[in-house]
Amino acid sequence: MSDWLTAMANGTQASVLVTVALVEGSGPREAGAKMYVSLDGQVDTIGGGHLELRAVEIAKTMLSTTETHARLERFALGPSLGQCCGGVVHLVFEPVDGSLKEVLASLQERRQQDSWKVTALDGDSVSALFDASGQFIAGTPAGAPATFPRERARQHDTHVAQGSDGRRWLVDPCLAPRAHLTLFGAGHVGAAIVRALAHLPCTITWVDEREDMFLAALPAGVPDNVRIAATDTPEQFVAMAPPGGSFLVMTHSHALDQRLTQAIMEREDAGWFGLIGSHTKRKQFEHRLQARGVPEQRIAAMVCPIGMPGIRNKAPAVIAASVACQLLMVWEQAASAALAAPLRFASASAPSRRPARAAIYPL
């Protein structure tokens, strides 16, 4: 998760942060996608192909000439780069200087909180970080706008805004992952699922009674988006999960699976729930849940067997890949629904209407 951010936090070389600021039409990556470029290479991607090659060239030229100001560049993918996407992509190139280093260090610490990074594209070099209510956190406060557009048709888009003085700003929401999975079971399949989700936009609470299993499963270390919970009372982590959170149950004990399933069913605000097992296991659990008075619609929503239809291989890595696809579909649908709803901030101004092909929004 956020490989570019980890690389920048740990890097010692001069570098440039490249951000997709705007996409008009079809593009290889969405607004907000980023990559880190140093003279020795890059981390992450803005979509590959000629666009990325050209972006790396520009970033390395900036490094070799010690350029200090952020730049906004426009790329017509079809006419100038020969890419079949055919759209127009606007990229921002930010040399990682003192203030931006401070911003990125704070952003690294705030992975689980919403932040807004604001960078000046004209005039003096300014980079600042705000929280979701508009409070300054880090960077260069002098010259940074006190407010910026945070209520729009899609409030979470990275975009370029323009102040009344004509100065342009990159407004870049760096949002905490909305998707959360509580995973019960640290066996082979559980470990494979954690590895499959390690770099995806989600957070995981991984629960098991056997503490030694976690160390055996991940000898290289625990991914940044994973929290381990070794406990004799795993049911408590059902209650602790966030509203709408996803659950996946695959413990070493059918009796424990049953208890966890019952606890998840009792949460009316639980999100997607998957239970590892066969159709026979599902039927057994259905009968037990019906006997305990669980509503039929709740039982019907239980996903068992887990994974994408048509994939029959039961190797842990295959199951993990299949379940990861399943979860991504669930989480993207939930994210689309969340983006469709108005999002209000404490210091937000009146909503602004987004023109059909606008590239810059007024502050």
- Average pLDDT estimate for 178-201: 93
Residues 206 and 328 in one domain: yes
Domain span at residue 145 reads 3-174
Query: Does position 47 have pLDDT exceeding 90, yes or no?
Result: no
Do residues 140 and 185 share a domain? no
What confidence score (pLDDT) does residue 81 get? 61
Tens-place pLDDT, residues 254-304: 999 999 999 999 999 999 999 999 999 999 999 999 999 999 999 999 999
Region of poorest pLDDT, from 185-189, 223-227, 232-236: 223-227
* Amino acid letter, residue 91: L
Q: How many domains does the chain have?
A: 2
Domain end marker among 126, 157, 174: 174
Is 138 in the same domain as 231? no
Residues 142 and 219 grouped into a single domain: no
CB atoms within 10 A of CB 50: 15
Instruction: Tell me what percent of the residues of the chain surpass a pLDDT of 90.
Output: 53
Asked if pLDDT for residue 358 goes beyond 50, the answer is no
Which of 2-6, 54-58, 79-83, 92-96 is predicted with the least confidence, judged by mean pLDDT?
A: 79-83
Q: What is the pLDDT of residue 176?
A: 83
Name the least confident of 128-142, 200-214, 313-327: 128-142
Q: Give the residue, 78 or 88, on which the prediction is more confident.
A: 88
* Residue 359: pLDDT over 60: no
Q: pLDDT value at position 134?
A: 78
Do 21 and 149 lie in one domain? The reply is yes
For residues 186 and 162, state if they share a domain.
no
Q: Are residues 243 and 325 in the same domain?
A: yes
Where residue 349 falls among pLDDT bands split at 50, 70, 90? very low
**CA 68 – CA 63 distance, rounded (Å):** 9
With a pLDDT cut of 70, the percent of the chain lying above it is 86
Query: For residue 58, is pLDDT > 90?
Result: yes
Lowest model confidence (mean pLDDT) among 7-16, 120-129, 184-193, 265-274: 7-16
Asked if residue 361 is part of any domain, the answer here is: no
pLDDT confidence bin for 7, thresholds 50/70/90 = confident
Which of 158, 174, 190 is the last residue before a domain boundary? Answer: 174
Across the chain, mean pLDDT equals 84
In a domain, 362, yes or no: no
Contacts of the segment 191-194: beta carbons below 8 A, 24+ positions apart: 191/217, 191/218, 191/316, 192/316, 192/317, 192/319, 192/320, 193/248, 193/319, 193/320, 193/323, 193/324, 194/218, 194/223, 194/226
Same domain? 232 vs 215: yes
**Measured between alpha carbons, how far is 6 from 108 in angstroms, rounded to an integer?**
7
Residue range 197-219: mean pLDDT, rounded:
89
> Which pLDDT value is given to residue 345?
35
Q: What's the average model confidence in pLDDT over 27-54?
A: 90
| Strand order across the beta sheet in which 179-184 lies | 226-230, 202-208, 179-184, 246-249, 273-275
CB contact at 8 A, 148 and 170? no
**Residue 60 binned pLDDT confidence (cut-offs 50, 70, 90):** very high
Between 241-255, 302-316, 325-339, the lowest mean confidence (pLDDT) is in 325-339
Better pLDDT: 344 or 15? 15
